[in-house]
Amino acid sequence: MIDLKCTALIIIDMQRDFCEKNGYADHMGLDVEILRKPIANIQKLLTWARQHQLLVVHTREGHRTDLTDLYPLKKQRTSGLKSEIGAVGPMGKLMLRGEYGHDIIDEIKPISGEPIIDKPGYSAFAYTDLELILKNRDIKNLMITGVTTEVCVSSTFRQATDLGFYCITVQDACASANEDLHQAALKMIEVENGIFGQVMATENILNFSH
Protein backbone atom coordinates (compact mmCIF):
# COMPACT_ATOMS: atom_id res chain seq x y z
CA MET A 1 0.00 0.00 0.00
CA ILE A 2 1.39 3.40 -0.92
CA ASP A 3 1.24 6.51 1.25
CA LEU A 4 -1.46 8.72 -0.21
CA LYS A 5 0.02 11.78 1.51
CA CYS A 6 2.97 11.44 -0.89
CA THR A 7 0.87 10.61 -3.95
CA ALA A 8 -0.41 12.71 -6.86
CA LEU A 9 -2.99 12.01 -9.54
CA ILE A 10 -1.70 13.02 -12.98
CA ILE A 11 -4.30 13.55 -15.73
CA ILE A 12 -2.58 13.74 -19.08
CA ASP A 13 -3.88 15.72 -22.04
CA MET A 14 -7.64 15.25 -21.65
CA GLN A 15 -8.12 18.18 -24.02
CA ARG A 16 -10.75 18.99 -26.60
CA ASP A 17 -8.08 18.65 -29.29
CA PHE A 18 -7.76 14.97 -28.40
CA CYS A 19 -11.14 14.04 -26.94
CA GLU A 20 -13.73 15.87 -29.05
CA LYS A 21 -14.79 15.90 -32.67
CA ASN A 22 -13.11 18.51 -34.89
CA GLY A 23 -9.97 18.63 -32.76
CA TYR A 24 -6.41 17.63 -33.59
CA ALA A 25 -6.89 13.88 -33.04
CA ASP A 26 -10.01 13.87 -35.20
CA HIS A 27 -8.12 15.69 -37.96
CA MET A 28 -5.36 13.05 -37.67
CA GLY A 29 -7.98 10.36 -38.36
CA LEU A 30 -7.95 8.91 -34.83
CA ASP A 31 -11.12 7.47 -33.28
CA VAL A 32 -12.15 10.11 -30.75
CA GLU A 33 -14.81 7.86 -29.22
CA ILE A 34 -12.09 5.41 -28.13
CA LEU A 35 -10.05 8.29 -26.69
CA ARG A 36 -13.11 9.35 -24.68
CA LYS A 37 -13.51 5.93 -23.01
CA PRO A 38 -11.45 6.79 -19.90
CA ILE A 39 -13.51 9.87 -19.04
CA ALA A 40 -15.90 8.12 -16.63
CA ASN A 41 -13.07 6.43 -14.74
CA ILE A 42 -10.99 9.59 -14.59
CA GLN A 43 -14.02 11.38 -13.14
CA LYS A 44 -14.25 8.71 -10.42
CA LEU A 45 -10.54 9.01 -9.65
CA LEU A 46 -10.77 12.80 -9.62
CA THR A 47 -13.63 12.75 -7.10
CA TRP A 48 -11.74 10.23 -4.96
CA ALA A 49 -8.48 12.20 -5.14
CA ARG A 50 -10.19 15.43 -4.12
CA GLN A 51 -11.93 13.69 -1.22
CA HIS A 52 -8.57 12.35 0.00
CA GLN A 53 -6.85 15.70 -0.64
CA LEU A 54 -4.33 14.29 -3.10
CA LEU A 55 -2.46 16.68 -5.33
CA VAL A 56 -4.12 16.61 -8.76
CA VAL A 57 -2.12 17.77 -11.77
CA HIS A 58 -3.55 18.28 -15.26
CA THR A 59 -1.43 18.51 -18.40
CA ARG A 60 -2.08 20.02 -21.82
CA GLU A 61 0.01 19.39 -24.90
CA GLY A 62 0.30 22.42 -27.14
CA HIS A 63 2.47 25.25 -28.32
CA ARG A 64 3.07 28.95 -28.04
CA THR A 65 1.04 31.02 -30.48
CA ASP A 66 4.20 31.99 -32.37
CA LEU A 67 5.26 28.31 -32.60
CA THR A 68 8.75 29.12 -31.32
CA ASP A 69 8.61 26.03 -29.06
CA LEU A 70 7.60 23.68 -31.89
CA TYR A 71 10.72 21.68 -32.65
CA PRO A 72 11.40 20.89 -36.33
CA LEU A 73 10.86 17.12 -36.21
CA LYS A 74 7.44 17.51 -34.62
CA LYS A 75 6.51 20.25 -37.10
CA GLN A 76 7.63 18.06 -39.99
CA ARG A 77 5.35 15.22 -38.95
CA THR A 78 2.15 17.17 -39.73
CA SER A 79 3.46 19.75 -42.20
CA GLY A 80 1.04 20.30 -45.08
CA LEU A 81 -1.63 18.03 -43.59
CA LYS A 82 -5.14 18.92 -42.49
CA SER A 83 -3.86 18.25 -38.97
CA GLU A 84 -0.86 20.59 -39.22
CA ILE A 85 -0.09 22.16 -35.85
CA GLY A 86 -1.33 25.74 -35.96
CA ALA A 87 -3.81 25.08 -38.77
CA VAL A 88 -7.24 26.66 -38.32
CA GLY A 89 -9.92 24.19 -37.27
CA PRO A 90 -13.51 24.45 -35.98
CA MET A 91 -12.23 24.81 -32.39
CA GLY A 92 -9.50 27.32 -33.23
CA LYS A 93 -5.91 26.75 -34.27
CA LEU A 94 -4.87 23.16 -33.65
CA MET A 95 -2.65 22.49 -30.63
CA LEU A 96 -2.04 26.15 -29.78
CA ARG A 97 -2.28 27.47 -26.24
CA GLY A 98 -5.23 29.71 -25.56
CA GLU A 99 -7.38 28.17 -28.27
CA TYR A 100 -10.69 26.53 -27.39
CA GLY A 101 -9.49 23.11 -28.59
CA HIS A 102 -6.36 23.25 -26.45
CA ASP A 103 -8.26 23.42 -23.17
CA ILE A 104 -9.30 20.53 -20.96
CA ILE A 105 -12.71 18.96 -21.60
CA ASP A 106 -15.62 20.14 -19.46
CA GLU A 107 -16.09 16.72 -17.84
CA ILE A 108 -12.67 16.94 -16.13
CA LYS A 109 -12.26 20.65 -15.45
CA PRO A 110 -9.52 21.56 -12.97
CA ILE A 111 -10.53 23.38 -9.82
CA SER A 112 -8.61 26.02 -7.90
CA GLY A 113 -5.34 24.67 -6.52
CA GLU A 114 -4.88 21.99 -9.19
CA PRO A 115 -1.82 22.87 -11.30
CA ILE A 116 -2.06 22.79 -15.08
CA ILE A 117 1.15 21.89 -16.87
CA ASP A 118 1.46 23.18 -20.44
CA LYS A 119 3.94 21.02 -22.29
CA PRO A 120 5.35 21.30 -25.81
CA GLY A 121 6.43 17.65 -25.95
CA TYR A 122 5.08 14.24 -25.05
CA SER A 123 6.46 13.72 -21.55
CA ALA A 124 4.85 15.90 -18.89
CA PHE A 125 8.35 16.51 -17.51
CA ALA A 126 10.01 17.72 -20.74
CA TYR A 127 10.55 21.51 -20.65
CA THR A 128 8.05 21.99 -17.78
CA ASP A 129 8.18 22.67 -14.03
CA LEU A 130 6.28 19.49 -13.11
CA GLU A 131 9.21 17.89 -11.28
CA LEU A 132 9.67 21.04 -9.17
CA ILE A 133 5.96 21.15 -8.26
CA LEU A 134 5.96 17.49 -7.22
CA LYS A 135 9.14 17.74 -5.17
CA ASN A 136 7.93 20.90 -3.43
CA ARG A 137 4.93 18.85 -2.24
CA ASP A 138 7.12 15.86 -1.26
CA ILE A 139 5.37 13.67 -3.83
CA LYS A 140 6.95 10.26 -4.34
CA ASN A 141 4.16 8.29 -6.05
CA LEU A 142 2.21 9.08 -9.21
CA MET A 143 -1.11 7.69 -10.40
CA ILE A 144 -1.09 8.32 -14.15
CA THR A 145 -4.15 8.58 -16.39
CA GLY A 146 -5.05 10.15 -19.73
CA VAL A 147 -4.23 9.91 -23.43
CA THR A 148 -2.59 8.44 -25.28
CA THR A 149 -1.24 5.36 -23.53
CA GLU A 150 1.61 4.67 -25.96
CA VAL A 151 2.74 8.28 -26.41
CA CYS A 152 2.23 10.93 -23.71
CA VAL A 153 1.27 8.55 -20.89
CA SER A 154 4.17 6.22 -21.70
CA SER A 155 6.65 9.07 -22.15
CA THR A 156 5.62 10.47 -18.77
CA PHE A 157 5.85 7.29 -16.70
CA ARG A 158 9.20 6.44 -18.27
CA GLN A 159 10.73 9.81 -17.41
CA ALA A 160 9.07 9.80 -13.98
CA THR A 161 10.72 6.46 -13.21
CA ASP A 162 14.14 7.84 -14.15
CA LEU A 163 13.48 10.78 -11.84
CA GLY A 164 12.79 8.45 -8.91
CA PHE A 165 8.98 8.51 -8.77
CA TYR A 166 6.98 5.30 -8.28
CA CYS A 167 4.26 5.11 -10.93
CA ILE A 168 0.90 3.41 -11.01
CA THR A 169 -0.60 3.57 -14.49
CA VAL A 170 -4.37 3.21 -14.36
CA GLN A 171 -5.18 0.84 -17.20
CA ASP A 172 -8.86 1.70 -17.65
CA ALA A 173 -8.29 5.44 -17.13
CA CYS A 174 -5.92 5.62 -20.12
CA ALA A 175 -6.64 5.16 -23.80
CA SER A 176 -5.12 4.85 -27.23
CA ALA A 177 -6.89 4.96 -30.57
CA ASN A 178 -5.09 1.65 -31.22
CA GLU A 179 -6.00 -1.07 -28.72
CA ASP A 180 -2.93 -3.15 -29.59
CA LEU A 181 -0.63 -0.24 -28.75
CA HIS A 182 -2.59 0.44 -25.54
CA GLN A 183 -2.11 -3.15 -24.38
CA ALA A 184 1.54 -3.26 -25.45
CA ALA A 185 2.33 -0.06 -23.54
CA LEU A 186 0.72 -1.48 -20.41
CA LYS A 187 2.54 -4.81 -20.73
CA MET A 188 5.91 -3.03 -20.90
CA ILE A 189 5.36 -1.45 -17.48
CA GLU A 190 5.51 -4.64 -15.44
CA VAL A 191 8.35 -6.48 -17.19
CA GLU A 192 11.52 -7.10 -15.16
CA ASN A 193 9.62 -7.02 -11.87
CA GLY A 194 7.89 -3.71 -12.57
CA ILE A 195 10.52 -1.73 -14.44
CA PHE A 196 8.13 1.22 -14.89
CA GLY A 197 5.99 0.64 -11.81
CA GLN A 198 2.61 -1.01 -11.65
CA VAL A 199 -0.62 -1.31 -13.63
CA MET A 200 -3.90 -1.11 -11.73
CA ALA A 201 -7.62 -0.75 -12.43
CA THR A 202 -9.69 2.20 -11.28
CA GLU A 203 -11.78 0.14 -8.85
CA ASN A 204 -8.67 -1.11 -7.04
CA ILE A 205 -7.42 2.43 -6.54
CA LEU A 206 -10.79 3.60 -5.22
CA ASN A 207 -10.32 1.10 -2.39
CA PHE A 208 -7.13 2.83 -1.24
CA SER A 209 -7.48 4.90 1.93
CA HIS A 210 -5.23 6.88 4.25
Query: Which positions are catalytic?
Result: 13, 119, 152
The residue among 28, 26, 105, 93 whose CA lies nearest residue 60 is 105
Q: Where are the beta strands (DSSP E) in the chain?
A: 7-12, 55-61, 88-89, 92-93, 116-119, 141-147, 166-175, 198-200
CB 34 within 8 A of CB 27: no
Could you give the CA distance from residue 79 to residue 123 in angstroms, rounded to a whole number?
A: 22
